[in-house]
Amino acid sequence: MNLLPKTEENKPIYQQIVDHVKKLITTKEMPIGSKLPSIRQLAKELEVSPITTKRAYEELERENYIDTVPSKGSYVAARDLDQIKEEYLRKIEVHMRKIMLLSEFCDITEKELAMMFHLLRIQDGKTL
């Protein structure tokens, strides 16, 4: 299992780890009950401070993506993936409303927005 996140210069490393693990969980690449590497092991693999990985794990636990068992390790928590998807859809809706408002200021059409979205996906190496 590769927990190495895609490097994003504008995001703190701990947040990149959090986002990457969330993606692995929501896409079922890390099924419920999967054991995560230890904090020290992941820090070594990513060549970051254990404090960084500890912070990422604490956030994942706070958001109920993982459960940590003392002296045993951290595991993917049992969560309703439909509920997680619903949470993401609400976040996407908020961002889309902002995009709609900005596009109105600049008189950008839906077609132009769709093209921008498509080009960004290609740029990131993702296609629908």
Chain position carrying tokens 């996140």 = 5
For 98-124, letters b (16+ CB in 10 Å) and e give: eeeeeeeeeeeeeeeeeeeeeeeeeee
pLDDT of residue 95: 96
State pTM to two decimals. Answer: 0.71
Listing DSSP states for 99-113 in one string gives HHHHHHHHT--HHHH
The fold of 13-76 is Arc Repressor Mutant, subunit A (1.10.10)
Q: Quick: pLDDT tens for 53-62.
A: 999 999 999 9
| Rg of the chain (C-alpha set) | 18
Instruction: Find the DSSP H helices in the chain.
Output: 13-26, 39-46, 50-62, 81-106, 110-123
Chain position carrying tokens 């929501």 = 26
Q: Quick: pLDDT tens for 50-108.
A: 999 999 999 999 999 999 999 999 999 998 888 888 988 999 999 999 999 999 999 99
